[in-house]
Amino acid sequence: MRTARVTLTENTTNISGRSTPFNRISLPVRNEVHIRKYLPLDIRVRLRSRVLELAKLSMSYQQIQTEIFESTHIRLSKGSISGWIRGIHNPSGGKNKFRAVASPELAYVIGVIAGDGNLSVHGYNYEMLLSVTDHDFAEEFSRCLAKILGKSSLYKVRWSEKRKRWIVQGSSILLHRFLSKPWKHLKNHIEHSPRCRFSFLKALFDGEGSITGRNLTMTNTDLSLLLYVRKLLAKSGISTSIPGVTHRAGSILKDPHTGRNYKRRRDCYVMRVSPMDLLPFARKIGFSIERKKRVLPSLGDSFETPDCLID
């Protein structure tokens, strides 16, 4: 192995990278650090770049593994090396590039994650996930996610028989990193324009909103988020009640779709939109969910109380 490396060095321009230094990572020499998902993104990106440089010199996976280990004390698996060289994996998310440019679609995704959505990590997949009972809600999240990640096709909306829910999953480490920030740090993207503001609010009302007759409410365990929503609605000329506790921590919540019981870990708050402002709400914000959306115009135009209950 050592002879092969010397030969390659003599026939190329500094295989060890002296001409374009790969900064040595400060780790104890006695420890071997295997590549893991918790290595910082910038380190993984630089490792991949170095692996691709070495691959262009026709080095074997074993030679690349040895070279990387000797210069960084990180032992990459041959599977990681193979995945990077063949283009199967990319630390930055492959084709799913993300630029934090304010848009209604990005505001909607921020609102979904602040409400019903989740962020998760599975190996190389840094996922944005939504699991809901309404197909059109999942479809809108899929559309917005695909738009901000530059995908030519929508993310698949699949049905989970076990969960009795529609599920959408998208993967991008850069977007995952962006959405991992508290929503309070993303206000510039939420309030960039009226369209962004309305889109953020629509996402939250899609997930957290409930309408019964003329009673339009939003519930959430994050009181500060409800107060922020109240402020944004007021800016749009829509008045609301002050959020109040509707369920205490420790009380039982029953999922109407699966029948499973859950214990609430935090107090739950509710905020009500003024019945007189339902028409402005319908015109400016509304819902992506058809079963909720079709109720608002009738409420706004005639203020008749329908016999249906929509949660």
Q: Which of 227, 242, 236 is nearest to 285 (CA)?
A: 236
Tens digit of each residue's pLDDT (9 = 90 or more) over 73-118: 888 888 888 888 887 777 665 545 788 999 999 999 999 999 989 9
| pLDDT recorded at residue 92 | 62
Most confident of 23-27, 108-112, 153-157: 108-112
Between strands 125-132 and 209-212, the pairing is: unpaired
Which of 31-40, 98-107, 229-238 comes out lowest in average pLDDT?
31-40
Between strands 157-160 and 261-263, the pairing is: unpaired
Q: Which of 152, 128, 153, 122 is nearest to 141 (CA)?
A: 128
Tens digit of each residue's pLDDT (9 = 90 or more) over 172-203: 888 999 999 999 999 999 999 999 999 999 99
258 in helix, strand or coil?
Answer: coil
| pLDDT recorded at residue 297 | 65
Which of 130-134, 147-151, 293-297, 307-311 comes out lowest in average pLDDT?
307-311
Which of 23-27, 62-66, 102-106, 150-154 comes out lowest in average pLDDT?
23-27
Task: Find out whether 34 and 75 touch, Cβ atoms under 8 Å.
Answer: yes
- Reported residue count of the chain is 311
Q: How many CB atoms lie within 10 A of CB 56?
A: 9
How far is Cα 176 from Cα 170, in angstroms, rounded to an integer? 10
Query: Mean pLDDT throughout 58-74?
Result: 90
Task: Find out whether 1 and 62 touch, Cβ atoms under 8 Å.
Answer: yes
Q: At what angle do helices 135-148 and 104-114 cross, to 10 degrees?
A: 130
* Residue 308, phi then psi, degrees to nearest 5: -90, 155
Tens digit of each residue's pLDDT (9 = 90 or more) over 260-275: 777 777 889 999 999 9
| pLDDT recorded at residue 6 | 30
* Residue 132, phi then psi, degrees to nearest 5: -140, 170
| pLDDT recorded at residue 213 | 82
| Higher pLDDT pick, 246 / 282 | 282
Query: Mean pLDDT throughout 250-264?
Result: 73
Give, for 74, the enclosing helix (H) or strand (E).
Answer: strand 74-75
CA distances to 75, 86, 88, 90 from 79, in Å: 11, 10, 10, 13
Distinct helix (H) and strand (E) counts, the chain: 13, 13
What b/e sequence results for 89-106 when a residue is b if at least 16 CB atoms lie within 10 Å of its CB, and e otherwise?
bbbebeebebeeebbbbb
pTM exceeding the 0.75 threshold for the entire prediction = no
- Looking at the predicted structure, is the pLDDT value of residue 13 above 80? no
Task: Look up residue 126 and give its amino acid.
Answer: Y
CA distances to 46, 120, 261 from 83, in Å: 15, 21, 43
